[in-house]
Amino acid sequence: MPSYPKPQVKQYHPPVKATWWLARPAYIKFMVRELTSLFIAGYAAFLVVLMAKADDVAAFQSIMDALKTPVSILLHLIVLGFALFHSITFFNLTPRVLVVQRGEDRLADAAIAGAHYAMWLVATLVILFVATR
């Protein structure tokens, strides 16, 4: 039996505008959440570089003094806002991604998100306890 070449099928790729994410509020929230992760990662890298430069006690003390300036405190508050927004929107999204079955029933969305918030609270309290001792 002769072998015939398969016809070339051209796939359709609809054009997507660069502003596709402005079409719905949920898309905007998604993009803002993803953007906040970049700022948080940049801030973490900034702190790592800053601490790498603290090779002696005097350098460390000067860095700590610089972190107490109003501009630095404002930067920390902005990053805290980004981290809170990212965490809250992520935890609210987890019941859609993490489906837990108990027999035939699904675990309630509030229980899944609530467990994440509870662990976040426990981790925060442990960090506060260690930091204040």
Query: Helices 70-97 and 25-52 meet at what angle, rounded to 10?
Result: 130
How many domains is the chain built from?
1
Residue 5 lies in a domain: no
**What is the greatest pairwise CA distance in the chain?**
85
Residue 57 domain boundaries: 20-132
Residue 2 lies in a domain: no
pTM attached to this predicted model:
0.75
Residue 3 lies in a domain: no
| Measured torsion, CA atoms of residues 109, 39, 121, 108, in degrees rounded to the nearest 10 | 0
Residue 68 lies in a domain: yes
Q: Is the pLDDT of residue 56 over 90?
A: no
Residue 54 lies in a domain: yes
Q: What is the CATH number of the domain that holds 27?
A: 1.20.1300.10
**What is the tens place of the pLDDT at every residue in 67-115?**
899 999 999 999 999 999 999 999 999 998 888 888 889 899 999 999 9
Residue 78 lies in a domain: yes
The average pLDDT across 31-45 equals 92
Three-state SS across 39-54? HHHHHHHHHHHHHHCC
What is the model's pLDDT at position 1? 66
